[in-house]
DNA sequence: ATGAAAGCGCTAACAT
DNA sequence: ATGTTAGCGCTTTCAT
């Protein structure tokens, strides 16, 4: 029977001929009750199609079994992979997750946070995103973790991040080992700490091999949204200048793909003349021809560590302020020729 | 000040020296109150950092300003794009959205639905997904719409779908117009109506041009998760058989990319020897070399129509049972040579 | 224009 | 082992 309004614990109690307290007890398997009672209650629940009203339960117990997830743009391959794993893991622990696409916009982010607070989420997981987190917007009482994002200077919010600097180092050293001397670096004008660290790795590799760093070999994408087209235009312009070039390290696969398009348009052989390395090891690296060498960041591991930390905070335990997830260079045709 | 527990409407009332009813009135801008009172209440709200407790509000008013979104896998480019636009649009209307990755698994879907029901979502939007919707799991009282998904035979749940058959027709006619006679069709073994319709378009085009359809030119991917690798293996096997081939139509870009990889591995020239068309016009088509001709489905439009229908249902209005969004063939290098 | 009070569905003392 | 009841924070009559 599907009456107008959903059955409440009260209806169940009536059907089973017990009090609402008893129903609550068997539902939550909490307190004592006889097996016979349990059976009757369970039957009543089934027969009237009772479903717990979480609004009421949350109000009473002040926990919503709900997590807010803030992510710049779920349509981005790397972010959405992270988001997928995080959602799966949280769901397994009984949490529903609100997804909030902030578009890296501070005001949007604040607005989402307000909503999450009013929805009384049990925790917030911030995935990627370039800005320092607007912590003032979040009450002390609600646990937060950042994944692939730096919450801001001297923030105590736990963060789970990749070995960004090492990634930059590995990428650049690989290019150097492949014989590159004139290595172009592509990043965003709006740099977050992730990217700064990758650049530091790049600089370190150059320094270690006595290759001078030059600002003319540093290309800046306008926004912090990784844009293939912008990267393509920038690299085309660079190529037009005719400077020597034999390697490119891009801080994201998006940029790497754009760079590849520019090289191909200019009939520059990859990896013959110029070698190319990206970052994230996203699906794009395998679709491009030649396939693109990239730095794998293990999004599943990042998501897992992030969820673990958040869940720990929620139950009142401590979580490490910083968890670092290793990276790994995956060599592909854009640097090593044969696939 | 950030005391242990969040301020309630009661605290605000006390600070402002009015009753809680009045506070409620000014918050919801509902009922009458003097401007002076309004000011005092607003001030009190600001000074104690009051945020509405939606759990309480939902309980009382039985609407949660929350939507459940069921999607097979948010890391898939097409789905996540759809999800992004839908979330943005719903957020603009004041709704938060729970994302549920069902992995096309019926049991998982049911479980998510149970949770959504207990969370008292105001509506459910089902994005893509292959199975008929388990409607019994959803109370009549909660509005549902499907986007890029057929809810099931004679279901009254509104659906927003693409012109799938026309897409298949356009794709195949284009191949024929490019001179193809031996056209391979790649789809999933587990066919949903979307794919069946695309195939119907393919069949119709063949028929109209007097080209016989043959089962040996019909490749079936094992799962309904679009898999590049599986497509690649299947096409490799097909090529090994040595049948004549000059065109391929794949029901998804994933499959098209896999097919392209197989062709390239066999050193078959695309589009010289074999021409290739995909479906969805996802980002992959532009990254691949050669870029892949595909059927654009306008995910933003699909999302928009879906949200519009759901929002209408929520306020008690009718929504069209079927909304069809046009498709468009985008010609690229995999069929027309020059980019 | 504003206040008092009932009650949404649930949990957790506190009884018995 | 089970029932009674207060109260979570809010909206909404019904008074005044």
Q: How far is B234 from chain A (nearest CA, A)?
A: 17
Pick out chain B residues at pLDDT < 50. 1, 339
Is any atom of nucleic acid chain D found less than 7 Å from the CB of residue A54?
Answer: no
Nearest CB to B287; choose among A118, A120, A287: A287
Nearest CB to B80; choose among A54, A64, A80: A80
**pTM of the full predicted structure?**
0.96
The CA–C1' separation of A23 and D7, in angstroms, is 19
Judge whether B2 is closer than 8 Å to chain A, CB to CB: yes
Task: List b or e across A14-24, with b for residues whose CB sees 16 or more CB atoms inside 10 angstroms.
Answer: bbbebeeebbb
10 Å CB burial of residue B296 (0-12, 13-18, 19+) is middle
Judge whether A64 is closer than 8 Å to chain B, CB to CB: yes
Task: Please give the average per-residue pLDDT across A319-323, as a whole number.
Answer: 98
Instruction: Give me the total of CB pairs closer than 8 Å, taking one residue from chain A and one from chain B.
Output: 137
pLDDT for position A64: 98
pLDDT tens digits, A65-108: 999 999 999 999 999 999 999 999 999 999 999 999 999 999 99
Nearest residue of A to residue B78, measured between CA atoms: A75
pLDDT for position A154: 83
In the numeric block, which tokens belong to residue B305? 């129509």
Using the C1' atom of nucleotide D3, identify the protein residue whose alpha carbon is closest: A19
pLDDT reading at A142 higher than 80: yes
Q: Across the interface, do A2 and B264 touch by the CB < 8 Å criterion? A: no
pLDDT for position A224: 64
Scanning chain A, the segments in alpha helix (DSSP H) are: 9-16, 20-28, 35-48, 54-61, 77-92, 106-118, 164-177, 193-208, 228-241, 253-265, 284-287, 299-314, 333-336
Q: At what angle do helices A35-48 and A20-28 cross, to 10 degrees?
A: 90
Judge whether A209 is closer than 8 Å to chain B, CB to CB: no
pLDDT for position A46: 96
Query: Residue A153 CB: number of other CB atoms within 10 A?
Result: 7
Q: Across the interface, do B5 and A141 touch by the CB < 8 Å criterion? A: yes
Residues of A in contact with B49 (CB under 8 A): 139
Considering only residues 28-47 of chain B, list those whose CB is below 7 Å from strand C.
Answer: 31-34, 36-37
pLDDT confidence band for A134 (50 / 70 / 90): confident
Judge whether A59 is closer than 8 Å to chain B, CB to CB: yes
The CA–C1' separation of B54 and C10, in angstroms, is 15
* Higher pLDDT, residue B223 or A287: A287
Handedness of CA B325, B136, B58, A31 (dihedral sign): negative
pLDDT reading at A1 higher than 80: no
Q: How far is B33 from chain A (nearest CA, A)?
A: 24
Using the C1' atom of nucleotide D11, identify the protein residue whose alpha carbon is closest: B60
pLDDT for position B1: 45
Nearest CB to B77; choose among A77, A97, A116: A77
pLDDT confidence band for A153 (50 / 70 / 90): confident
pLDDT tens digits, A173-223: 999 999 999 999 999 988 789 999 999 999 999 999 999 999 999 999 987
- Residue B68 bridge partners (DSSP): B98, B124
pLDDT for position A223: 74
């Amino acid at each position: 029977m599907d009456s107008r309004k959903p059955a409440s614990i009260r209806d169940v109690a009536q059907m089973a001929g017990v009090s609402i307290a008893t129903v609550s007890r068997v539902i939550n398997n909490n307190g004592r009750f006889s097996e016979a009672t349990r059976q009757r209650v369970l039957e009543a629940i089934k027969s009237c199609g009772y479903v717990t009203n979480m609004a009421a339960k949350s109000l009473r117990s002040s926990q919503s079994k709900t997590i807010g997830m803030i992510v710049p743009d779920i349509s981005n391959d790397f972010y959405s992979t992270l988001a997928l794993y995080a959602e799966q893991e949280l769901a397994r622990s009984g949490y529903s997750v609100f997804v909030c696409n902030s578009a890296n916009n501070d005001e949007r982010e604040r607005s989402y946070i307000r909503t999450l607070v009013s929805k009384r989420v049990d925790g917030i997981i911030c995935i990627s995103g370039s800005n320092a987190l607007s912590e003032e917007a979040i009450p002390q009482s609600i646990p937060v973790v950042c994944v692939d994002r730096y919450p801001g200077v001297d923030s105590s919010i736990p963060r789970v991040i990749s070995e960004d600097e090492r990634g930059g180092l590995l990428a650049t050293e690989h290019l150097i080992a492949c014989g590159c001397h004139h290595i172009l670096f592509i990043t965003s004008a709006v740099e977050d700490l992730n990217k700064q660290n990758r650049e530091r790795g790049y600089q370190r590799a150059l320094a270690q091999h006595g290759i001078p760093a030059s600002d003319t070999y540093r290309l800046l994408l306008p926004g912090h949204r990784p844009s293939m087209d912008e990267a393509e235009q920038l690299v085309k312009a660079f190529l037009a200048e005719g400077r020597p070039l034999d390697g490119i390290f891009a801080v994201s696969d998006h940029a790497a793909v754009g760079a590849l398009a520019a090289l191909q348009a200019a009939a520059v052989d990859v990896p013959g003349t110029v070698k190319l390395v990206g970052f994230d090891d996203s699906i794009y690296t395998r679709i491009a021809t030649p396939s693109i060498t990239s730095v794998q960041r293990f999004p599943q591991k990042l998501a897992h560590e992030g969820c673990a930390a958040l869940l720990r905070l929620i139950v009142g335990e401590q979580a490490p302020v910083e968890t670092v997830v290793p990276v790994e260079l995956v060599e592909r045709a854009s640097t090593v020729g044969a696939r």
